[in-house]
DNA sequence: CAATAAGCGAGACGGTACGTCCCGTCTTGGG
DNA sequence: CCCAAGACGGGACGTACCGTCTCGCTTATTG
C-alpha cells in the first residue's frame, strides 16, 4: 500500500474527475457510470483515479459534496420563533428536492451506494444528511428551551419523527410527496412533541 | 424480442434457480452475486435465466418473494385491544429483523434493487412491505373505531409515522435500533394520533 | 441410437430443408449457416434435421447434390475423336465454373467442409467430383485405345495432370484462371501423355 | 475501431499465445480450437488475443508462420544438375510431409482457413507455399538455361504441373500419396516440359 | 542547477462477468 | 411415429470494465 503525497496532487485533474463523474451520472445514470468513462471524459489516466479514490462511489460522493460545499457550509434552520412554520419550511424544501428529477435520481444513486458500502454510508450521512439533521435538532432544542416541546423529548428521535415519514414515502414510492403531506407530518410531530398537560400551561405551541 | 411460452417452462429449473440465488446471497452477499454463479449452482444454462428474468435483481426479488410467500399469506396484526402493546409488538419485530445480520443484508440488497429499478420497487413494496403496512393500517382503523385514535387522522400517514423513523434509522445507520427505540417511536405516534381534548372524554388510549 | 423409419419421412420437409440450406448459403455464406436458421427458414423443427442428417455440412452437400442431380446424371465427355479439343472443353468448363462467384463460393464451402470432415469428403468427391474424373478417365482410355496416349500411361495420374494444376491455381489464387491457362495445361498434358517415339509412329495426337 | 499501440505490446504474451495455439491444435485439432482455450493455456486475457488478432484462424496462421520462420528463410532447391533427381526430391519431401499425421492435420487446417478468408490465404501462400514454388521455378529456370526444358515453357504453369497433381490427390484423398506417385508425376512433367524435337539435339534431359 | 523522484496521460495487461448465439437433446401436443 | 415448436443444459463467442502494471513525459523539490 503506497500512500501518495498529496502536496504533489494535481488540482486540475481532481476537478476534471469530479465534474466528469457528476456530468456522467446526469447523462447516463449512476448505475452505468464506470471508472474508465470518468477517466476518458476527464482526460485523465485511470491510475490517477485509483490513486486518490477507493471506488467510483467515492468519486461520485465527493463530486456531490464538492459541488454542494458552499450551500451546506454552516447550515442553520431559520428560527422565526414559529416552530410550526420553521419545520414546514424544512420538510417542504426536502419534498421539493425529491420532486426534482435530477436530484431525485442523484439521491437514489447515493442511497444505493450507501446501502452497499458502509464506509460511503457514513461519509454521505455524515456530510450531507448530517448537517440538516443537526440543524433541525438544534431548532428543536431551541423550541424545547422555549417550552414548545416536552422537556424530556429525545430530540434524535424527534428528528426522525419528522424526516422518517418523508424518507419512507420517497424511498418506497407508496404515495406522492406533496407540501400538504409535509405539513401533515409536521402537525403529527408537533402533537407528539407537545409538552404534557400541566408541564407548561402558560406557553402554547404557536407561542 | 420473442416472448417464450410459459406453459413449456420447467418448474424444476425455476425452483433450482431461485434457491441457488437465495443461497448465494446468503453466502457471498448480493453485491458479489452473478448470473453465471446462479446458473452454475442451479445446474442450469444461463439462457434459461435470461429467458425468464431480465436481471439478477429480478431473480433475487422473486426468490425472496417466493420463499416468503406462505408466511405473509393473510397477515394480520394481533388485536388485543391494547393498541400500545400491539404497535410495540410490530415495531419490535421489525427491529429484530433488521438486527439479524442475514435479514439485514437481504433487506439492504432488496432496497438497493428497488432504488435502481422502479418496477422491482413496486413488486417489493407491493408484496413484502405492503401487507405489513396494510395490516398496521387495519389495526389503527380498529383503534380509531374504538376512539383511541383521532377520528380525522390520515391512517396512511399514521403508518409512516410508525415505520418511517425506524426505516430512516436503519437505512442511515445513524443510531442503534433497539426495542427501547421502538417503544419511544410508538409513544410519540400515540401522542400524535391521540384524539383531541373533548373529542372523546370517556375513552382512554390504554382502553 | 435410434434409426428412424424412412418410409414415414416427410418429403415436403426434406425439400424445404434442402432448399432453405441452399438459399441461406447463397445469402449469408456457408460459414454463417446454422441449423437453427435452416429449420426456421424451412418451417421445420430442428429435430427433423438432426433426425435425418448428421451435420449442417451433410445437409448442404445433399442440397448441392440434389439440385444438381439431373445435370450430372450420366455424365460423359463428348468424344469427337479430337482429344485436344475434348480436354480443352472440360478444363474450360471447369475454369468457367470457378469464375462464377456463386459457384466459386459454394465450391470453397464444400472444400472447406471436406477438409474438416473425411466422411463428407468422400461424399463430395464421390458424388460430385468423382463422375467428372471418371468421365475424363474414360475419354483418355478411349484415346489410349486410339494410340493417342502412351499405352503404359497411368490414367489416374493422367487425370490429375489435367485437373491438379487448375485446382491448385484455384485453391491458392496464385494466378488468374483463364481459358488460355486451361489450354496450356491441356497442351502440357498431351505432351506428357504422348506415346513414346516408335510406339506408334503412324498415329499423331491430332489424328 | 481503436488501433492499439504496437510499441507497448507484450512480446511475452504474444509468444505464449502463439505456442499455446500451436500446441492446442496438435492436441485437440484445429476444429476444436477455441480462443478461450488459447487464452487459458497462454495465461492471458481473451482481450489480449482480440486486441492483436481478428480471429482464431489468424492466430493459428501466425503461429505456424512464426514457428517456421527460420526454416524457410532462404529456401533453395539443390541443383545437382540432375533435374529429374532434384524434382523427385522436392515432390517426395512434400509427399512425406502430407503423410505425417501432425503435418497433414495442420496443413488441412491452414487450407480450410485459407479457403474461408482470402486475406489469410495470401498470407499463407505468400509465406509458406510461395518460397517453395519460387525455389522450384528457379530450379526449372536453371534447367531451361541448360536446355533441359523447352525454351518457351511457362514456368508458372510448369510448377503447377508438378505440385497440382500432388495437391489434388492430397486434398481429395482420391488415392494414396507415395514416393512412386511422386516419381510418376515428375516423369510426366519432364516429358511435358521437354524441349521439342530439334530444338536442342545435343542436350538430353538426363544431362 | 542538474539530478531525481513523484504524479501524470495513456493504455496494455490478466481477469471476471456479461448477454447472445448456437449446439444437440429432450418434451409436448397435434395429425 | 413423425412432425413443428421450442425449452433445456451447455459451451463459446466477442465486449465491457475491473484494478494493476508499465511506459515516457512533465514538474518541483533537493543535494
Q: How many residues does chain A have?
A: 207
Of A17, A48, A67, the residue at which a domain comes to its end is: A67
In this structure, the answer to whether residues D177 and D91 fall within a common structural domain is: yes
Residue with nearest Cα to nucleotide F23 C1'? D8
Mean pLDDT of chain B: 90
Identify the band that residue A127 occupies on the pLDDT scale cut at 50, 70 and 90.
confident
Rg (CA), chain B: 21
Residues B87 and B176 in one domain: yes
Please check whether residues C178 and C81 belong to one and the same domain.
yes
Same domain (yes/no): B51, B147? no
B136 domain-assigned: yes
- Same domain for B88 and B183, yes or no, is yes
Cβ-based neighbours of C14, under 8 Å, separated by 6 or more: C52
pLDDT of residue C207: 38
In angstroms, how far is E4 C1' from A8 CA? 15
What cell was used for A148? 414548545
C67 against D51, higher pLDDT: D51
The domain that contains B130 carries what CATH number?
A: 1.10.357.10
pLDDT tens digits along B37-90: 999 999 999 999 999 999 999 999 999 988 876 555 556 788 999 999 999 999
Neighbours of B202 (CB within 10 A): 5
The answer to whether residue C205 scores a pLDDT higher than 60 is no
DSSP string, D39-98: HHHHT--HHHHHHH-SSHHHHHHHHHHHHTTTTTTT------S-HHHHHHHHHHHHHHHH
- List CB contacts (< 8 A) between C109 and chain D: 115
Q: Is C32 within 7 A of strand F by CB distance? A: no
At C69, the pLDDT band (50, 70, 90 cuts) reads low
Residues of chain D short of pLDDT 70, as ranges, are 1, 69-75, 198-207
Residue among B115, B122, B181 minimizing CB distance to A111: B115
Residues ≥6 apart with Cβ < 8 Å to B123 = B61, B65
Q: Which domain holds residue B105?
A: 83-193
> Has residue C182 got a pLDDT over 60?
yes
Q: With 90 as the cut, is the pLDDT of residue C7 above it?
A: no
Q: Say what the pLDDT of residue A71 is.
A: 58
- For the segment B158-173, the average pLDDT, to the nearest whole number, is 97
Together in a domain, D48 and D91: no
Sorting pLDDT into bands at 50, 70 and 90, what band is C126? confident
* Band (C72; pLDDT cuts 50, 70, 90): low
What is residue C4's predicted lDDT score, i.e. its pLDDT? 81
Q: Give a yes or no: residue C84 inside a domain.
A: yes
Q: Which residue of D has its CA nearest to C108?
A: D115
* Percentage with pLDDT > 70 across chain A: 91
Q: How far apart are CA B154 and CA A100, in angstroms?
A: 26
Structure confidence at residue C2 (pLDDT): 60
Same domain, B183 and B137: yes
D76 in any annotated domain = no
Average pLDDT over residues B196-203: 60
Least reliable range by pLDDT among A154-158, B193-197, C13-17, D65-69: D65-69
Average pLDDT over residues B161-176: 97
Report which DSSP code applies to C83: H
Task: Based on the fold, state whether residues D107 and D58 are members of the same structural domain.
Answer: no
> What local confidence, expressed as pLDDT, does residue A72 receive?
54
Q: Which tens digit of pLDDT belongs to each residue from D143-197? A: 999 999 999 999 999 999 999 999 999 999 999 999 999 999 999 999 999 998 7
Q: C47 CA, F1 C1': separation in Å?
A: 14
pLDDT number for residue C6: 83
Confidence label for C17 from pLDDT (cuts 50, 70 and 90): very high
**Contact between C185 and D111 using a beta-carbon 8 Å cutoff:** no
* CA distance linking residue D64 with residue A37, whole number of Å: 39
- Same domain as C176, residue C113: yes
**Range C143-164 average pLDDT:** 96
How far apart, in whole angstroms, are the C-alpha atoms of residue A55 and residue A36? 12
- For residue D116, the tally of other CB atoms under 10 A from its CB is 18
Number of domains forming the structure of chain D: 2
Q: How far is CA C27 from CA A182, C24, C30, C31, C106, in A?
A: 65, 5, 9, 11, 11
Gap between the Cα atoms of C22 and C65, Å rounded? 11
Query: Whole-angstrom Cα distance, residue A103 to residue A123?
Result: 18
Q: Compute the C-alpha angle D3/D6/D8, nearest 5°.
A: 115
pLDDT higher than 90, residue A54: yes
Give the pLDDT score at C73.
Answer: 53
The beta-carbon neighbor of A189 closest among B114, B174, B192 is B192
Candidates A115, A125, A184; nearest CB to B111 = A115
Here the CATH number for the domain that contains residue B60 is: 1.10.10.60
> What cell numbers appear for D179 in the block?
514416393
D166 touches chain C (CB under 8 A): yes
What sign results for the dihedral spanned by CA atoms B121, B127, B128, B134?
Answer: positive
- D184, C133: Cβ pair inside 8 Å? no
Considering the domain architecture, whether residues B188 and B87 belong to the same structural domain is answered as yes
Amino acid at each position: 500500500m503506497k500512500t501518495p503525497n498529496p502536496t504533489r496532487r494535481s488540482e486540475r485533474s481532481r476537478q476534471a474527475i469530479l465534474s466528469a463523474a457528476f456530468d456522467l451520472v446526469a447523462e447516463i445514470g449512476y448505475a452505468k457510470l464506470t471508472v474508465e468513462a470518468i477517466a476518458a471524459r476527464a482526460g485523465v489516466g485511470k491510475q490517477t483515479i485509483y490513486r486518490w479514490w477507493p471506488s467510483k462511489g467515492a468519486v461520485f460522493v465527493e463530486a456531490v459534496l464538492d459541488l454542494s460545499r458552499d450551500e451546506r457550509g454552516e447550515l442553520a434552520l431559520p428560527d422565526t420563533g414559529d416552530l410550526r412554520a420553521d419545520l414546514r419550511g424544512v420538510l417542504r424544501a426536502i419534498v421539493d428536492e425529491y420532486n426534482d428529477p435530477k436530484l431525485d435520481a442523484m439521491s437514489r444513486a447515493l442511497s444505493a451506494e450507501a446501502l452497499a458500502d458502509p464506509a460511503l454510508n457514513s461519509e454521505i450521512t455524515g456530510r450531507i444528511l448530517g448537517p440538516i439533521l443537526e440543524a433541525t435538532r438544534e431548532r428543536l432544542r431551541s423550541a424545547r428551551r422555549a417550552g414548545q416541546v416536552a422537556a424530556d423529548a429525545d430530540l434524535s428521535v424527534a428528528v426522525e419523527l419528522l424526516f422518517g415519514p418523508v424518507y419512507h414515502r420517497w424511498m418506497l414510492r407508496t404515495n406522492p410527496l406533496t407540501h400538504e403531506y409535509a405539513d401533515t407530518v409536521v402537525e403529527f410531530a408537533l402533537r407528539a412533541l407537545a409538552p404534557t398537560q400541566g408541564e407548561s400551561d402558560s406557553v402554547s405551541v404557536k407561542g
